[in-house]
Chain A
Amino acid sequence: MKARTPILAGIGQTRFTRWNDATTPSELQLACEAVLAAADDAGVPVESIDGVASFGGDRTEPPILQAALGLPELRLSAMLWGGGGGGSCGAVQLAAMAVQSGAADCVVVVRSLSQGQTGRYGLYDPNWWHASFTHPFGLLAASALLALTMRRHMHEYGTTSRQMAAFAMACREHAHRNPHALMRDRSLDLETYMASRMIADPFRLFDCCLESNGACAVLVVPWERARDLRRAPVQLLAAVHGASDGWSTGPMGSFNQPLDQFCTTGAAHLAADLYARASISASDLDVAQLYDNFTGIAMLSMEDFGLCGRGESGPFVEGGATRWPTGSIPVNTHGGNLSEAYVHGLTHVAEGVRQIRGSSTCQVPGAQLCLVTGGPGPAPTSALVLGAV
């Protein structure tokens, strides 16, 4: 391995709470807690952190974090453009690029949400691009925008609500084993799913991710520092972010895409690039953490990233392929955004690290390769592959 090969050295997270929990600390405090936890997990001094990267318009600006934590030197202050969780893996890519080039030596990726302090996330934002062509028609948020994609997928391929329920229930079962998951004690069966209120048809309440407070942090260092680490190093085999041609010309991207790309997350090209860079194919993966903003949209990610064929995600999840421990490729072994917590998917990267370390609460035995994806729908989106060293 080359000296500057990026290693995921530490992960940290705060306690997760519901979005309207009045006891949650400020976003800045949550960010500090998560960064300290990641440094402690890695066994590196906090003072050695010299870079910060984030995404999704996180409000914790790196110089403020530097001031709050007393970091002596800041060499990277990076933000991946794009809303929502699209950039979760892309922010890790920015950190890795800085480490690989030598621009910085110990970069933390952090995402923090405290909605009691800042207002509920995901409500109407008048500053969206192309807003005049969506908002006056009542398309105000991701649920309705992506419901349009899902409705057409159901029309084309016969995907059903029962199939989306199967994915939601698998994630919930994983969360039952995760002591940090917000829904660890809440069971979900088909009857409860079907009886839940409609949000934006075809998405019911239990198709939608949680709304949470909390922070998560991931620490990236070069391989040459691996011997100083407390934990077994996890290699970042490849990370990519991007958008395909035309994906941004329309709200949430896909509206002007030809039919063969309309019912997708626009990430098929990104997946091919990712696997080529990691020198793997989808069939080599042991486990995957897919950004689950909505059940059905995570299923479209399964198709784009080649876990199943185009249009086959419904039968794929209904047949139990993504359910731990019996499925052929367990997905979201922490419970995901649907059942663990919604910290814009950086928690998926942390769970990927746990799988490669062998420390997940739904551990895939001997997991060597883990796919992690960023939020599907917005542009850019992102993805990465983690591997054992």
Chain B
Amino acid sequence: MSYLPHAAPVPDPEPWEAGFWRLCAEHRLCFQRCTACGHVRHPPLPCCPRCRCFESGWIEATDDAELYTYTIVHHALHPSLRDAVPYNAVVVAFPALAWIRLVSNIINCPPEQLRIGMPLRVCWDVAGNGRILPRFEPKPRLRS
């Protein structure tokens, strides 16, 4: 059971975005990194905006994901989402990766428990076209 219905819009990557989704299929959340200067960027783009190099690789996301901001969507803007509202849509930040950010959803968390700054961990979900989506859930507290 996916967080949003399978009839919801699905990833349809541009050529320079394909690597991100190929890695998601392996359950690896990675961001694009410039081969020349090491600048990490998201969403992916063909050329490094810092040094203009066209060569790039992928770097694994750090495990310090936190909730940067969120909304609870109540008004469905696509027919497929009419039975899915209310749902959350969030921005996740990775402080150790220069606060790079990713849009996603948080599962296993009632809306009233969403807090800016809450620690998150990635989990994997399936879109209607079989693409693997990075979603997040609250990070369990470590026992001391």
Q: A132-B21, A246-B49 are in contact. Are A123 and B72 (CB under 8 A)?
A: no
Number of interface residues of B (CB under 8 A): 44
Q: Is the CB of A132 within 8 A of B11?
A: yes
How far apart sit A136 and B103, CA to CA, in the bound complex (Å)?
10
Which single member of A134, A136, A200 contacts B74 (CB below 8 Å)? A200
Interface of chain B residues 6 through 20 with chain A (CB within 8 A) = 8-14, 17
- A149 at interface, CB cutoff 8 A: yes
**CB 8 Å contact bits of B96-135 with A (1 = contact, 0 = none):** 0001111111000001000010000000000100010100
How far apart sit A163 and B4, CA to CA, in the bound complex (Å)?
33
Interface band, chain A? 35 or more
Q: Is the CB of B41 within 8 A of A126?
A: no
Q: Is the CB of B78 within 8 A of A136?
A: no
- B18 → A minimal CB distance (Å): 10
Q: Is the CB of A152 within 8 A of B127?
A: no
- B84 at interface, CB cutoff 8 A: yes
Q: Is the CB of A141 within 8 A of B74?
A: no
- B143 → A minimal CB distance (Å): 29
Q: Is the CB of B116 within 8 A of A155?
A: yes
Q: Is the CB of A199 within 8 A of B75?
A: yes
Q: Is the CB of A137 within 8 A of B105?
A: yes
- A194 → B minimal CB distance (Å): 15
- B59 → A minimal CB distance (Å): 16
How far apart sit A144 and B111, CA to CA, in the bound complex (Å)?
15
Q: A133-B43, A136-B10, A139-B103 are in contact. Are A148 and B70 (CB under 8 A)?
A: yes
How far apart sit A149 and B73, CA to CA, in the bound complex (Å)?
14
Q: A155-B69, A200-B72 are in contact. List 6 more A-B contacts (CB 8 A).
A: A123-B78, A133-B42, A200-B73, A246-B49, A251-B103, A256-B100
